[in-house]
A and B are shown apart, each in its own frame.
Chain A
Amino acid sequence: MTASINLQDVTRRFGAIEAVRAVSLALPPGETVALVGHNGAGKTTLMKLMLGLIHPTAGTVQVLGENPAAGQFAARRRLGYLPESVAFNTALTARETLAFYARLKREPVARMGDLLDRVGLGAAADRRVGTYSKGMRQRLGLAQALIGAPAVMLLDEPTTGLDPALRHSFYEIIQELRDRGATVLLSSHALTELEERAERVIIMNRGIMVANGSVDDLRRIACLPVRIRIAAPADSLAAIPEWVGPIGTCRRINGHVVEVQVGLEQKIEVLKRSVAHGTVDDLDIVPPTLDDLYAHFLMSQEMPA
């Protein structure tokens, strides 16, 4: 299977700033990819490179088999983009705005009504975009990115400003697109939201790609400890450090819960021992979250071990 998006050794400099440094990646069809990184890490720059809106200083970019900056537009017709702060002409209505973008993509204008309903703008479709709230503009932005069932979606912080209900249907739409074989690249700062939804996570730090893999891959690479919370009757709580002591470090959370941090491979051992000791009321296993992984990968780049 050939990759929808292929970057090789791509570097982009803005004067003295290296916004993207030697990034190589290949994203296959049918994958949802989360692009995370601090402010100014190069996420938006990476997307603009994929769109051909800016040229790489070095390296090659291929999207749907084309160089997007070469001025051929066959690939762009199958591409949807939502910029991070999306703006529309305020004088036109949402329906007119979508009709314009649909014509540019040679898609039937008649189908735009459904799209507006889909993002919950059906009732406001004939109001001027200038009167819209921020979230409504974001919805319209999403609608235009969805025109023509694109094969590649580049969404720059798509859920900012969306209310919980639309956030939910947004991820449903993403799921549908992915099931049809689209590559969805979305950048976000809401890591918990991405955790279950993205097959792959790319972490950027100051222009460098510091991680690229599934959340599980990253967990394995990072070797972050698993946290196990053990609830036990107050009188046997003190004994817990004794029987897990050799394996992990213990921390008392409150009167009847102790948190134990252990390596991934010792997780089962802790479980066995808790069963053996019999004084355990309840037990929770908390794997490292994307937040933890993110912090880890940023740290490990600051201080190369």
Chain B
Amino acid sequence: MRNILIVAGKEIQEGLRNRWVLATTLLLAGLALSLTFLGSAPTGNVGVRALDVVIVSLSSLTIFLLPLIALLISHDAIVGEMERGTMLLMLSYPIGRWQVMLGKFVGHVAILAFATVLGYGAAALALALTGAVVDAASWLAFASMIGSSILLGAIFIAIGYLVSALARDRGTAAGLAIGIWLLFVLIYDMALLGLLVVDQGKIISGGALNALLLLNPTDAYRLFNLTGFASVSTFAGMAGLAGTAGLGPRVLLATLAAWVFLPLALATFAFSRREL
């Protein structure tokens, strides 16, 4: 346990030093702030359920951005340290490989959580300062949006580690990471949509569709945030889907958690088998 914290501490220290933390926080805050105010300006209704509108737009932003940032931080974590030779030295110390992996995970998730809370929190704070009335339900929805965003980031950090533990060199790892991002964020949904259009509801049942949605963590995240709270789903145009989907927030959260655990376990296994 102590080793995990030591490694996590070092990752955070490095992240602060090479300005990963700063850059990520500023990027998220900047985008969140502009979405908040640009998004509500045309409708002119800053006051009415303004935070719910923000949740909808921020969660769409998250789906694109957080996986990208997470993969950028994580794809290099194992293979990069091996290539640079720093891994060899660290593993000669009294520390297990699984501890190295978990330590990095804790550190990287902490960096991402810090940036998300601060960046998105700034947007909510700014909104509150403009005098918008926000009720408790909306705050809850907003908090769970931040929480699940961090979870989504953690998923892609774990996936990045798996790539990093398997890839032969850094270039391959970077290529694979980009491929994975494209797959989950763009291609998967497009392919699914195409499939549904072609199928016309003949073969793919509601249950199969649910399974297909859960197979992509970004879809699970989207469903969780856009259908989980009644107030939000009306704005997201998902009110209908929320009722029929049959995927409650618990199932979605469990799916997200599984998406963290599985790649992380596989990455730890792959790393422990890897020759130095």
- List the one stretch of A69-77, A112-120, A219-227, A244-252 in contact with chain B: A69-77
- Number of cross-chain contacts by CB at 8 Å: 58
Q: Is B92's CB under 8 angstroms from A53's CB?
A: yes
**How long is the Cα–Cα vector from A282 to B137 in the complex, in angstroms?**
102
Partner of B93, one of A76, A86, A87, A88: A76
Interface residues in B66-91 (C-beta closer than 8 Å to A): 84-86, 88-91
- The 8 A CB mask of B12-55 against A (1 = contact, 0 = none) is 01100110000000000000000000000000000000000000
- Chain B: minimal CB distance from A183 (Å): 16
Complex contact B95–A100 (CB within 8 A): no
Complex partner residue of B10 from A51, A83, A86, A100, CB under 8 angstroms = A100
Q: Which residue of A lies closest to B94 (CB)?
A: A73
Q: Is B172 an interface residue (CB 8 A)?
A: no
Chain B residue contacts of A51, Cβ below 8 A: 92
Q: Are A54 and B10 in contact (CB under 8 A)?
A: no
Q: How large is the interface on A (under 10, 10 to 19, 20 to 34, 35 or more residues)?
A: 20 to 34
Any B CB within 8 A of the CB of A1? no
Please judge, given known A-B contacts A48-B276, A92-B17, whether A83 and B89 are in contact too, CB under 8 Å: yes
Distance in Å: Cβ of A131 to nearest Cβ of chain B = 13
Report the minimal beta-carbon distance from B17 to chain A, rounded to whole angstroms.
Answer: 4
**A89 contacts B14, C-beta separation under 8 Å:** yes
Q: How far is the CA of A71 from the CA of B88 in the complex (A)?
A: 15
Q: Are B88 and A73 in contact (CB under 8 A)?
A: no
Given A53-B88, A83-B88, A85-B85, CB of A92 within 8 Å of CB of B13: yes
Does A105 have its Cβ within 8 Å of any Cβ on chain B? yes
Bound-complex Cα distance A81 to B89 (A): 8
Verify if B183 is at the interface (C-beta below 8 Å from A).
Answer: no
Chain B residue nearest to A101 (CB atoms) is B93
How far does the Cβ of B234 sit from chain A's closest Cβ, in whole Å?
47
Residue in chain B with minimal CB distance to A154? B92
Is the beta-carbon distance between B93 and A54 smaller than 8 angstroms? no
- Judge whether B84 and A105 touch: CB under 8 Å: no
Is A195 in the interface zone, CB < 8 Å from B? Answer: no
Select from chain A the residue with minimum beta-carbon distance to B3.
Answer: A104
Within 8 Å by CB of A73, from B17, B86, B96, lies: B96
Q: Give the contacts of A17-63 with B (CB-CB under 8 A).
A: 48, 51, 53-54
Look across to chain A and name the residue whose beta carbon is closest to the beta carbon of B90.
Answer: A104
Chain A neighbourhood of B10, CB < 8 A: 89, 92, 100
Whether A104 pairs with B93 at a CB distance below 8 angstroms is yes
Task: Give, as a whole number of angstroms, the nearest-CB distance from A231 to chain B.
Answer: 52
In-complex Cβ contact of A87 among B3, B17, B85 (8 A): B85
CB-CB under 8 A from A81, the residues of chain B are 89, 92
- A90-112 contacts to B (CB < 8 Å): 91-92, 96, 100-101, 103-105
Q: Which of B17, B89, B95 has the most CB of A within 10 A?
A: B89
Is B199 close to A, CB under 8 A?
no
Across the interface, A53 reaches (CB within 8 A) one of B17, B94, B276, namely: B276
CB within 8 Å of B: which residues of A? 48, 51, 53-54, 71, 73-74, 76-77, 79, 81, 83, 85-89, 91-92, 96, 100-101, 103-105, 141, 144
Q: What are 24 residue pairs bridging A and B, where the CB atoms are less than 8 Å apart in the complex?
A: A48-B276, A51-B92, A53-B88, A53-B91, A53-B276, A73-B94, A74-B94, A76-B92, A79-B92, A81-B92, A85-B85, A87-B85, A88-B86, A89-B10, A91-B17, A91-B18, A92-B10, A92-B14, A100-B6, A100-B10, A103-B6, A104-B90, A104-B95, A144-B89
| 10 tightest Cβ-Cβ pairs between the two chains A and B | A73-B94, A87-B85, A76-B94, A91-B17, A81-B92, A104-B93, A91-B18, A103-B6, A77-B94, A87-B84
